[in-house]
Structure 1
Amino acid sequence: IVVERVQQKAYAQRQLRLTRPTLCDSSVKQYSGYFDIAEEKHLFFWFFEARHDPEHAPLMLWLNGGPGGSTIASGLLFENGPCRISSDTNDTVHNEHGWNEKTNIIYLEQPVGTGFSYGTLDSVGTLANLAEDVYVFLQLWMHRFPAHARKPLHIAGESWGGHYVPNIGHLIDEQNDRLIYAPRPGQLQLNLATLTIANGLTEPASQFGSEAEYMCGGAPYPPFEPTDRRCAAWHAGTPTCVRMINSCYKFQNNATCISATAFCWPLLFTHPFTESGKNFYDLREDCRDKESGLCYPEFRAIGQWLNRTSTKLALGVDPDYDFKIVNVDVQTAFYKKGQAMLNSAELLIPLVNKGIRLLAYAGDTDGVCNYMGVERWMTRLEHDLHVEFEHAPSVPWKTTSGRHVGDVRVAGPGAGNVTFVRVFDAGHMAPFDQPEATLDMITKWIDNEPFA
């Protein structure tokens, strides 16, 4: 059911189709629907107003990774959305730690083929193409909701979102600069305030370079002892992997980047996790759903709920559409274009230098994008606050209730201009494991209040 179509002359042939659902959290205003880019390209979104003072609350865009992992299934219904799906009732239950407590939030499924987003996989492009689609989506959104255009905009992404967020931030900043000297009717300045990377893959050389160290003794719950013979093989292969990734950074072509992916991924991801039998998203536990490969049986209930005809009709989705939690074909399309091993961190340097605040947080039991590698690339990032951040100590982070839930490193005032947060006893999807702590974190971050 489409209740409204939104178009803008500056972006001809593209439109928003809006529906007004009341699922998940009926106490707040919602919109869901599609961003129509082309005949073969349609991205799904779901928006929730803040529970408290939505007129003055900022706007956040949340993206999950994969590529091809559903933002609705993981980000919204498994992690930080207003509701979750009960495995007992196969229906929604209130999430008191939803991030829309004080933030208006959009969950966007991208690229095409992800979740409810549909079209031909031929239209799956590069990280730069993805950023352009998200940028135009935001332009149309601000055109329809001009009050949001005046508010701070916070872009957040998880996992492969560590690539998405820098590319989107870079394009927003680039377009904002162009509009200063060459205004374009209908195109708006976007009030980009912060970027948040959640257990993200952003700078692969530092992150893959830390993987053997983390898995073989460095993790809080290491699956292997440092003396394990398998660790010797992984350590031995790491320098070659890092050299290949650095070649991808230098040449940025398919030959170097696909080769780095083909060598590093099996050596330092697939083989260690297969050998361990652990949930690679959370090394504290065994994989509880090996058949699906997702390790969390909760996703089965989420998938069933999203595939209900009543759910799809309420959200403005074709009832015959077959929803998937993860579309591996989208992953393959990105890998074949050499996108996995690009250095997206370097795009963040000019943004930080302009005062756009950067937060990277990592659950410390995540084996996929481990916290050591995330902190390492954050420390190596050569921006104006580099020296201050490099020498910043890790200090305890306590919630407003007094719980010591992690450590934080900060450069800059308040919550910081450059901030790294280690979340204790949390995996790849940290808001699922530590909902109270991560809500405390994102609230302090957005309000720019000190963590410690």
Structure 2
Amino acid sequence: MRNVALSALAAIVALATSAAATPAATDYLDMPIGRRSPQLPTRAPPNANDRRLGFNSQIEAAASYLDAYPGPASSSSSASSPMANAAAGAGAPLRVHLPLDPADANAFAASSVEDIIARNRGQHVVLSHRDFPQLSVRIKQLGSRPKATSPANNFASRLDKSDPEAFCDPTVTSWSGYIDTLDGKSLFFYFFESRNDPKRDPVVLWTNGGPGCSSSLGLFQEHGPCRIPERGGVVSDGPPINGTQWHPQSWNSRANMIYIDQPVGVGFSYSRYGVHSFNTEDAAKDIYRFLRIFFSAFDRFRDNDFHLSGESYGGRYIPVFASEVEDRNAHIRHAARKAGKKPRRDELINLKSIIVGNGLTDVSKQMSGYYDMSCTRRGGVAPILPIEQCKRMSSWVPRCERWLHDHCVATYSADLCRTARDTCSAELEDPYMMTGMNPYDITDDCKAGISPNLCYAVMEDIRAYLDRADVRELLGAAPVEEIGRFQTCNDQVAMGFINDNDAAQDNGLNVALLLERGIKALIYVGDLDFICNWVGNKKNGRSTAKTQERHSPTAGSYGQQ
């Protein structure tokens, strides 16, 4: 099947509705896309990793500079009292400490954390967790599922476009918020309930790639509950809901969807103190802590199947995020077993699978596929580049595979890896990029330009919509005056990851070892994508299968197609 962005979720939840036919929105690693320079404070924060400081001392040290930033609160009896939180003063966000104690629930006159958030609709509620003093979550409810019993498709046809509080998909309950860390990082997220059966449908976390590209692309251009129509960057009149179109083939037709702008510096995410995470392992720790707080707050989803999904650089993110979750789960089970106990119900994350679309898993294998996509019919179209150019590229393929593997993957030398990456990019990638064709759909021209539109004019409309003051206010996102205008992708983040050699890792072993632990993997690839092409993905799949067989001789293929 060609030119179809496969609905990966269908393979997990048997979604009957077909996915929209859109090119894979993968991301070009080295493109210059602009920088974000958030305002920095005049003094540095305390070291969140200083083991000399207890929980209370960390918070007391942080209090002097966390002016408007609602970081983790003190765990002292007075600060942890919900009544004390409620009386903290006008404008102060309500704080809830997790796991929620029944006495606290009674004091809030609420049956659950969700109920507390719903009662404060329009305002952030700050969630902190006793196990993670270095992190808290600001969250607000955007809308609630209507009481109408008609199917969502019918309801959507008569959406009230004048409702100033409606956002994206008023047929479901939705939330937005920030994951705030003690060192000043704030990661933005959206959460949409399933249109079908939220109590039973899986929970799926989605991240776009880049590195450095916002998951608003997945939300508003690919498989989210709504889309932003192409208007040439002209801002529409009316409330926020009037700037979007309801998407009937969204993944939230059968799943509860989380979209997250990560790492810090991406989309609405920002750093107050200039602290960034330029490697996936650090980002994974923040994601794990967020998930623990999320499932503690939204405990009705705790037993639902959970899936980690992403595209493009998600081939690096997702296996590492899943490894962090699985290793933490194993550690918790082991500690409980040694203590003769069972893990607390809120301690484990019910991870079932990873889902990766057109992923970058091993740059040495992926880059060699550029010859196949532009010089042969393996890309599904007639050869694109001239014969003489292709002869030169062909001679570079084996050298680049060897250099990138030897100097970037097997062992790492900063100078040799950079030289190999730059040389091979010039010889194998640049010839296609210089044609002016779309790197995400080799049958099309890059009409809107690579930077900052990734070839698609609708990116202008997404940026214009997310820069609207009323949209940011509704979402609780930081205003333009604080963090600057919305950027599709952030080149500072991309170059930080590349310079840290994060992009040159081979994550095939992560996938193989996750499979050994019963975590399933769905790797889906659109065949017209040049950047993260199917040729490289197939090589990665074969390599992963061999790795799995080497570690488990009785294991068979994990499902190559």
- Is the structural similarity TM-score above 0.5? yes
Match among 483, 495, 511 for residue 348 of structure 1: 511
Change (3 A) 1:18 1:132: same
SS in 2 for 1:182: helix
**Which residue number in structure 1 is paired with residue 530 of structure 2?**
367
Q: Distance in 1 between matches of 2:274 and 2:212?
A: 11
CA contact (8 A) 1:40 1:123 kept: no
Q: Distance in 2 between matches of 1:346 and 1:230?
A: 35
Q: How does 1:49-448 map to 2 (within 5 A)?
A: 49-72=193-216, 74-88=217-231, 90=236, 91-119=243-271, 122-183=275-336, 188-217=347-376, 218-222=378-382, 224=384, 228-247=387-406, 248-252=408-412, 254-274=414-434, 276-290=435-449, 292-320=452-480, 321=483, 322-382=485-545, 418-420=558-560
Q: One-letter code of the match for 1:150? A: D
* CA root-mean-square deviation: 2.2
SS in 1 for 2:525: strand
Larger radius of gyration: 2
Paired residue total: 391
Identify the structure with bigger relative contact order (alpha carbons < 8 Å, sequence gap 6+). Answer: 2
SS in 1 for 2:442: strand
Change (3 A) 1:341 1:13: closer
CA contact (8 A) 1:127 1:339 kept: yes
Task: Give how far 1:110 is off.
Answer: 0.4
CA contact (8 A) 1:253 1:338 kept: no
**Which residue number in structure 2 is paired with residue 29 of structure 1?**
173
The answer to whether the aligner puts 1:41 opposite 2:175 as a matched pair is no
Q: Which has the higher strand share?
A: 1
CA contact (8 A) 1:112 1:121 kept: no
CA contact (8 A) 2:512 2:548 kept: no
Q: Distance in 2 between matches of 1:265 and 1:13?
A: 40
Task: Give how far 1:38 is off.
Answer: 2.8
With the length of structure 1 as denominator, give the TM-score of the two structures: 0.82
**Which residue number in structure 1 is paired with residue 130 of structure 2?**
9
Q: Distance in 2 between matches of 1:165 and 1:201?
A: 10
SS in 2 for 1:65: coil
Gaps of 5+ in 2: 1-121, 143-165, 237-242, 337-342
Q: Distance in 2 between matches of 1:134 and 1:24?
A: 24
CA contact (8 A) 2:513 2:548 kept: no
Gaps of 5+ in 1: 388-410, 422-452
Q: Distance in 1 between matches of 2:333 and 2:350?
A: 13
With the length of structure 2 as denominator, give the TM-score of the two structures: 0.66
The answer to which of 181-190 and 259-268 deviates more is 181-190
Deviations 1:40-63 (A, max 9, x none): 311000000000111111100001
Change (3 A) 1:114 1:124: same
Q: Distance in 2 between matches of 1:49 and 1:222?
A: 44
Q: Distance in 1 between matches of 2:427 and 2:440?
A: 17
Q: Distance in 1 between matches of 2:382 and 2:492?
A: 32
Q: Distance in 2 between matches of 1:292 and 1:347?
A: 32
Deviations 1:290-349 (A, max 9, x none): 263511001111110011001101111122242111111110110110111110111111
**Which residue number in structure 1 is paired with residue 28 of structure 2?**
none
